[in-house]
Structure 1
Amino acid sequence: MVRYRRNFLPGGIFFFTLTLDDRSSSALVDHASLLRAAFRKTRNERPFALDAVVVLPDHLHAIMTLPEGDADFSDRWRRIKSAFTRSVVAAGVPLSRDHRGEYALWQKRFWEHTIRDERDFERCADYIHFNPVKHRLVSSPADWPFSSLHRYARAGILPRDWGGYGEADRGNFGERAD
Protein backbone atom coordinates (compact mmCIF):
# COMPACT_ATOMS: atom_id res chain seq x y z
CA MET A 1 0.00 0.00 0.00
CA VAL A 2 1.24 3.48 -0.85
CA ARG A 3 2.02 5.66 2.15
CA TYR A 4 1.22 9.27 1.50
CA ARG A 5 3.66 11.72 3.05
CA ARG A 6 2.20 15.05 3.95
CA ASN A 7 4.18 18.04 5.13
CA PHE A 8 2.32 19.14 8.24
CA LEU A 9 3.85 22.57 8.78
CA PRO A 10 2.15 24.62 11.54
CA GLY A 11 1.12 28.00 10.18
CA GLY A 12 2.12 26.87 6.70
CA ILE A 13 0.90 27.98 3.30
CA PHE A 14 -0.23 25.20 0.98
CA PHE A 15 -1.44 24.74 -2.60
CA PHE A 16 -4.18 22.11 -3.04
CA THR A 17 -6.01 20.33 -5.81
CA LEU A 18 -9.28 18.55 -4.99
CA THR A 19 -11.23 16.61 -7.60
CA LEU A 20 -14.69 15.18 -7.94
CA ASP A 21 -14.97 11.44 -8.36
CA ASP A 22 -16.88 11.87 -11.62
CA ARG A 23 -14.61 13.95 -13.86
CA SER A 24 -17.52 14.67 -16.21
CA SER A 25 -19.53 16.30 -13.41
CA SER A 26 -20.09 20.04 -13.16
CA ALA A 27 -21.35 19.92 -9.56
CA LEU A 28 -18.83 22.43 -8.23
CA VAL A 29 -19.95 25.26 -10.52
CA ASP A 30 -23.58 24.13 -10.64
CA HIS A 31 -23.72 24.45 -6.85
CA ALA A 32 -21.08 27.14 -6.28
CA SER A 33 -23.19 28.85 -3.60
CA LEU A 34 -23.28 25.61 -1.59
CA LEU A 35 -19.52 25.23 -1.96
CA ARG A 36 -19.03 28.83 -0.81
CA ALA A 37 -21.20 28.10 2.23
CA ALA A 38 -19.15 24.97 3.00
CA PHE A 39 -15.96 27.07 2.95
CA ARG A 40 -17.53 29.72 5.23
CA LYS A 41 -18.85 27.11 7.68
CA THR A 42 -15.48 25.39 7.88
CA ARG A 43 -13.59 28.68 8.23
CA ASN A 44 -15.85 29.61 11.16
CA GLU A 45 -15.14 26.27 12.86
CA ARG A 46 -11.45 25.94 11.94
CA PRO A 47 -9.97 29.29 10.81
CA PHE A 48 -7.75 29.57 7.76
CA ALA A 49 -7.00 32.13 5.08
CA LEU A 50 -8.03 31.34 1.53
CA ASP A 51 -5.32 33.19 -0.39
CA ALA A 52 -6.29 32.12 -3.91
CA VAL A 53 -8.91 29.79 -5.36
CA VAL A 54 -10.44 28.71 -8.64
CA VAL A 55 -13.46 26.44 -8.86
CA LEU A 56 -13.85 24.51 -12.11
CA PRO A 57 -16.69 22.13 -12.98
CA ASP A 58 -14.98 18.98 -11.65
CA HIS A 59 -12.07 20.20 -9.51
CA LEU A 60 -10.71 23.13 -7.59
CA HIS A 61 -7.32 24.60 -6.77
CA ALA A 62 -6.66 26.67 -3.67
CA ILE A 63 -3.90 28.25 -1.63
CA MET A 64 -4.61 28.06 2.08
CA THR A 65 -2.70 29.60 4.99
CA LEU A 66 -3.14 27.95 8.37
CA PRO A 67 -3.01 29.76 11.72
CA GLU A 68 0.21 29.76 13.74
CA GLY A 69 0.69 26.46 15.54
CA ASP A 70 -1.93 24.64 13.43
CA ALA A 71 -0.97 22.13 10.73
CA ASP A 72 -4.27 20.30 10.22
CA PHE A 73 -5.28 21.11 6.66
CA SER A 74 -6.69 17.57 6.19
CA ASP A 75 -9.47 18.17 8.72
CA ARG A 76 -10.41 21.42 7.02
CA TRP A 77 -10.73 19.72 3.63
CA ARG A 78 -12.69 16.85 5.18
CA ARG A 79 -15.12 19.39 6.66
CA ILE A 80 -15.45 21.36 3.42
CA LYS A 81 -16.02 18.24 1.33
CA SER A 82 -18.50 16.82 3.85
CA ALA A 83 -20.47 20.06 4.25
CA PHE A 84 -20.71 20.50 0.48
CA THR A 85 -21.80 16.89 -0.03
CA ARG A 86 -24.48 17.15 2.67
CA SER A 87 -25.76 20.40 1.14
CA VAL A 88 -25.92 18.93 -2.36
CA VAL A 89 -27.84 15.89 -1.07
CA ALA A 90 -30.20 18.15 0.93
CA ALA A 91 -30.84 20.13 -2.27
CA GLY A 92 -32.16 16.92 -3.85
CA VAL A 93 -29.28 16.24 -6.21
CA PRO A 94 -29.04 12.47 -6.77
CA LEU A 95 -25.60 11.14 -5.89
CA SER A 96 -24.32 7.62 -6.31
CA ARG A 97 -22.85 5.72 -3.39
CA ASP A 98 -19.65 3.71 -3.22
CA HIS A 99 -19.29 0.11 -2.06
CA ARG A 100 -19.37 1.26 1.61
CA GLY A 101 -22.57 3.24 1.14
CA GLU A 102 -20.83 6.62 1.26
CA TYR A 103 -21.67 9.30 -1.27
CA ALA A 104 -19.23 9.12 -4.18
CA LEU A 105 -18.96 12.84 -4.92
CA TRP A 106 -15.28 13.55 -4.20
CA GLN A 107 -12.13 11.61 -4.87
CA LYS A 108 -10.88 10.32 -1.53
CA ARG A 109 -7.57 12.13 -1.49
CA PHE A 110 -6.24 15.49 -2.54
CA TRP A 111 -2.95 16.81 -3.83
CA GLU A 112 -0.99 19.26 -1.72
CA HIS A 113 2.19 21.26 -2.14
CA THR A 114 3.89 23.32 0.56
CA ILE A 115 4.53 26.88 -0.61
CA ARG A 116 8.25 27.50 -0.12
CA ASP A 117 8.62 31.22 -0.69
CA GLU A 118 7.05 34.31 -2.29
CA ARG A 119 8.04 33.25 -5.81
CA ASP A 120 6.48 29.81 -5.30
CA PHE A 121 3.31 31.49 -3.99
CA GLU A 122 3.13 33.73 -7.06
CA ARG A 123 3.70 30.79 -9.41
CA CYS A 124 0.91 28.77 -7.76
CA ALA A 125 -1.49 31.75 -7.69
CA ASP A 126 -0.80 32.36 -11.39
CA TYR A 127 -1.49 28.68 -12.09
CA ILE A 128 -4.78 28.93 -10.18
CA HIS A 129 -5.92 32.06 -11.95
CA PHE A 130 -4.97 30.83 -15.43
CA ASN A 131 -6.48 27.36 -14.97
CA PRO A 132 -9.88 28.09 -16.60
CA VAL A 133 -8.03 29.12 -19.77
CA LYS A 134 -5.84 26.02 -19.60
CA HIS A 135 -9.00 23.90 -19.53
CA ARG A 136 -10.48 25.93 -22.41
CA LEU A 137 -13.46 27.08 -20.38
CA VAL A 138 -12.78 30.74 -21.24
CA SER A 139 -10.32 32.66 -23.40
CA SER A 140 -9.27 35.05 -20.62
CA PRO A 141 -9.01 34.35 -16.85
CA ALA A 142 -11.16 37.42 -16.10
CA ASP A 143 -14.06 35.75 -17.93
CA TRP A 144 -14.27 32.93 -15.36
CA PRO A 145 -16.58 33.89 -12.46
CA PHE A 146 -15.37 31.32 -9.91
CA SER A 147 -11.88 32.69 -9.30
CA SER A 148 -10.08 34.81 -6.73
CA LEU A 149 -8.59 36.70 -9.69
CA HIS A 150 -11.50 39.12 -9.31
CA ARG A 151 -10.55 39.77 -5.66
CA TYR A 152 -6.90 40.28 -6.70
CA ALA A 153 -8.01 42.80 -9.37
CA ARG A 154 -10.24 44.72 -6.92
CA ALA A 155 -7.32 44.92 -4.48
CA GLY A 156 -4.98 46.16 -7.22
CA ILE A 157 -2.72 43.10 -6.94
CA LEU A 158 -3.30 42.14 -10.57
CA PRO A 159 -4.73 44.13 -13.48
CA ARG A 160 -8.31 43.26 -14.48
CA ASP A 161 -7.09 41.98 -17.86
CA TRP A 162 -4.34 39.78 -16.34
CA GLY A 163 -3.70 36.64 -18.33
CA GLY A 164 -5.62 37.85 -21.37
CA TYR A 165 -4.75 37.03 -24.93
CA GLY A 166 -1.01 36.50 -25.37
CA GLU A 167 -0.25 36.31 -21.63
CA ALA A 168 0.15 32.54 -21.78
CA ASP A 169 3.46 33.13 -23.54
CA ARG A 170 4.96 34.88 -20.49
CA GLY A 171 5.33 31.70 -18.43
CA ASN A 172 4.18 28.17 -17.80
CA PHE A 173 1.99 29.08 -14.78
CA GLY A 174 3.43 26.39 -12.53
CA GLU A 175 3.51 23.48 -14.92
CA ARG A 176 6.62 21.53 -15.73
CA ALA A 177 8.15 22.20 -19.11
CA ASP A 178 8.45 18.92 -21.01
Structure 2
Amino acid sequence: FMDIIINNLKFYRNNQQLKIFSFVIMDNHIHLIASHKENLSKVIRNFKSFTAKELIAQLKKDSRSWILNLLKENKADYKTDSFYQFWQEGNHPKQIQNVEMFNQKVEYIHYNPVKRGLVSDAKDWIYSSARNYLGLDCVFQINKIL
Protein backbone atom coordinates (compact mmCIF):
# COMPACT_ATOMS: atom_id res chain seq x y z
CA PHE A 1 0.00 0.00 0.00
CA MET A 2 2.89 2.35 0.74
CA ASP A 3 4.15 1.75 -2.81
CA ILE A 4 0.91 3.12 -4.25
CA ILE A 5 1.39 6.34 -2.31
CA ILE A 6 5.10 6.58 -3.19
CA ASN A 7 4.42 5.96 -6.89
CA ASN A 8 1.74 8.65 -6.92
CA LEU A 9 4.00 11.13 -5.14
CA LYS A 10 6.60 10.43 -7.84
CA PHE A 11 4.00 10.97 -10.55
CA TYR A 12 2.86 14.30 -9.12
CA ARG A 13 6.45 15.42 -8.58
CA ASN A 14 7.52 14.44 -12.11
CA ASN A 15 4.37 15.35 -14.07
CA GLN A 16 2.40 17.90 -12.05
CA GLN A 17 5.24 20.10 -10.75
CA LEU A 18 4.58 19.23 -7.12
CA LYS A 19 7.63 19.99 -5.00
CA ILE A 20 8.03 17.91 -1.86
CA PHE A 21 10.57 19.03 0.70
CA SER A 22 9.73 16.64 3.54
CA PHE A 23 7.36 13.71 4.03
CA VAL A 24 6.38 10.79 6.18
CA ILE A 25 3.92 8.08 5.24
CA MET A 26 2.36 6.34 8.22
CA ASP A 27 -0.16 3.52 8.34
CA ASN A 28 -3.05 5.93 8.87
CA HIS A 29 -1.89 9.35 7.65
CA ILE A 30 0.68 11.25 5.67
CA HIS A 31 2.52 14.52 6.28
CA LEU A 32 4.09 16.63 3.55
CA ILE A 33 5.93 19.88 3.26
CA ALA A 34 5.09 20.70 -0.32
CA SER A 35 4.59 23.52 -2.75
CA HIS A 36 3.10 24.06 -6.16
CA LYS A 37 3.49 27.15 -8.30
CA GLU A 38 -0.22 27.42 -9.06
CA ASN A 39 -2.67 25.51 -6.88
CA LEU A 40 -1.37 23.21 -4.15
CA SER A 41 -4.86 22.47 -2.80
CA LYS A 42 -6.03 21.24 -6.21
CA VAL A 43 -2.97 19.02 -6.66
CA ILE A 44 -3.40 17.49 -3.19
CA ARG A 45 -7.12 16.96 -3.82
CA ASN A 46 -6.34 15.16 -7.09
CA PHE A 47 -3.60 13.12 -5.42
CA LYS A 48 -5.98 12.03 -2.67
CA SER A 49 -8.73 11.16 -5.13
CA PHE A 50 -6.50 9.08 -7.38
CA THR A 51 -4.66 7.28 -4.57
CA ALA A 52 -7.95 6.50 -2.82
CA LYS A 53 -9.22 4.77 -5.96
CA GLU A 54 -6.00 2.79 -6.34
CA LEU A 55 -5.82 1.84 -2.66
CA ILE A 56 -9.47 0.74 -2.56
CA ALA A 57 -8.93 -1.34 -5.71
CA GLN A 58 -5.94 -3.00 -4.03
CA LEU A 59 -7.97 -3.67 -0.87
CA LYS A 60 -10.66 -5.33 -3.00
CA LYS A 61 -8.05 -7.37 -4.86
CA ASP A 62 -6.54 -8.52 -1.55
CA SER A 63 -10.01 -9.33 -0.13
CA ARG A 64 -9.53 -6.98 2.82
CA SER A 65 -13.26 -6.66 3.42
CA TRP A 66 -12.89 -5.64 7.07
CA ILE A 67 -10.91 -2.54 6.03
CA LEU A 68 -13.38 -1.78 3.25
CA ASN A 69 -16.22 -2.03 5.78
CA LEU A 70 -14.47 0.55 7.99
CA LEU A 71 -14.01 2.86 5.00
CA LYS A 72 -17.67 2.43 4.13
CA GLU A 73 -18.74 3.29 7.70
CA ASN A 74 -16.57 6.43 7.69
CA LYS A 75 -18.11 7.84 4.53
CA ALA A 76 -20.20 10.93 5.14
CA ASP A 77 -23.90 10.42 4.33
CA TYR A 78 -24.02 13.40 1.98
CA LYS A 79 -21.26 11.92 -0.22
CA THR A 80 -23.50 10.09 -2.65
CA ASP A 81 -20.90 9.87 -5.43
CA SER A 82 -18.61 7.51 -3.51
CA PHE A 83 -18.96 4.28 -1.59
CA TYR A 84 -15.90 4.63 0.66
CA GLN A 85 -14.06 7.38 2.53
CA PHE A 86 -10.33 6.69 2.38
CA TRP A 87 -8.79 10.08 3.16
CA GLN A 88 -9.99 12.63 5.66
CA GLU A 89 -11.86 15.41 3.90
CA GLY A 90 -9.88 18.52 3.07
CA ASN A 91 -6.30 19.07 4.06
CA HIS A 92 -4.70 21.16 6.72
CA PRO A 93 -2.12 23.40 5.06
CA LYS A 94 -0.01 25.73 7.10
CA GLN A 95 2.15 28.34 5.44
CA ILE A 96 5.74 28.09 6.57
CA GLN A 97 6.89 31.55 7.58
CA ASN A 98 10.63 31.14 8.15
CA VAL A 99 13.56 28.72 8.42
CA GLU A 100 12.90 28.01 12.09
CA MET A 101 9.31 27.00 11.39
CA PHE A 102 10.45 24.87 8.45
CA ASN A 103 12.99 23.04 10.60
CA GLN A 104 10.42 22.50 13.37
CA LYS A 105 7.91 21.02 10.90
CA VAL A 106 10.55 18.75 9.35
CA GLU A 107 11.52 17.49 12.80
CA TYR A 108 7.86 16.89 13.70
CA ILE A 109 7.28 14.99 10.44
CA HIS A 110 10.37 12.83 10.85
CA TYR A 111 9.60 12.07 14.50
CA ASN A 112 6.13 10.60 13.75
CA PRO A 113 7.25 6.94 13.45
CA VAL A 114 9.43 7.26 16.56
CA LYS A 115 6.53 8.72 18.56
CA ARG A 116 4.31 5.83 17.45
CA GLY A 117 6.96 3.33 18.57
CA LEU A 118 7.49 1.94 15.07
CA VAL A 119 11.23 2.68 15.10
CA SER A 120 13.69 3.97 17.67
CA ASP A 121 15.43 6.31 15.22
CA ALA A 122 13.71 8.37 12.50
CA LYS A 123 16.26 7.27 9.90
CA ASP A 124 15.03 3.69 10.26
CA TRP A 125 11.56 4.49 8.88
CA ILE A 126 12.01 4.06 5.12
CA TYR A 127 8.81 5.95 4.27
CA SER A 128 10.21 9.25 5.49
CA SER A 129 12.46 11.97 4.14
CA ALA A 130 14.60 11.69 7.30
CA ARG A 131 16.81 9.40 5.24
CA ASN A 132 17.12 12.05 2.50
CA TYR A 133 18.26 14.63 5.01
CA LEU A 134 20.98 12.25 6.25
CA GLY A 135 22.19 11.40 2.74
CA LEU A 136 20.88 7.81 2.94
CA ASP A 137 18.99 5.86 0.28
CA CYS A 138 15.29 6.63 0.33
CA VAL A 139 12.19 5.35 -1.46
CA PHE A 140 11.41 8.89 -2.66
CA GLN A 141 13.75 11.73 -3.55
CA ILE A 142 12.64 15.06 -2.17
CA ASN A 143 13.23 18.44 -3.75
CA LYS A 144 16.26 20.27 -2.48
CA ILE A 145 15.86 23.67 -0.90
CA LEU A 146 18.34 26.08 -2.39
TM-score by length of 2: 0.75
CA distance in 1, matches of 2:55, 2:32: 21
Deviation at 1:40, TM superposition (A): 2.3
Match of 1:133 among 109, 114, 117: 114
Equivalenced residues, count:
122
Q: Answer whether contact 1:42 1:79 (CA < 8 A) is retained.
A: no
2:33 paired residue number: 63
Q: Name the Cα RMSD after superposition.
A: 1.8
For 1:44-96, what per-residue CA distance to the aligned partner results, in whole angstroms no more than 9, with x for missing partners?
442121000001110111100222xx2x1111111111121121233225534
Shift of 1:109: 1.8
| Post-superposition CA distance 1:126-176 (Å, at most 9, x none) | 111111111222211112111001111117xxxxxxxxxxxxxxxxxxxxx
Structure 1 gaps of 5+ residues are 1-30, 156-178
Residue identity in the other structure for 1:83: F
Q: Which has the higher helix share?
A: 2
| Separation (CA, whole Å) in 2 of partners of 1:48 and 1:110 | 16
Give secondary structure in 2 for the equivalent of 1:111. Answer: coil
Aligned to 2:133: 152
Q: Which runs of 5+ in 2 are unaligned?
A: 137-146
Identity %: 26
Q: Secondary structure at the match of 1:154?
A: coil
Q: Counterpart amino acid of 1:141?
A: A
In structure 2, the residue matched to 1:75 is 42
Aligned to 2:9: 39
Name the counterpart of 1:119: 100
2:86 to 101, 105, 121: 105
Using structure 1 for the length normalisation, give the TM-score.
Answer: 0.62
* Aligned match of 2:140: none
Q: Which one has a larger percent strand, Structure 1 or Structure 2? A: 1
Large movers: runs of 4+ above 6 Å: none
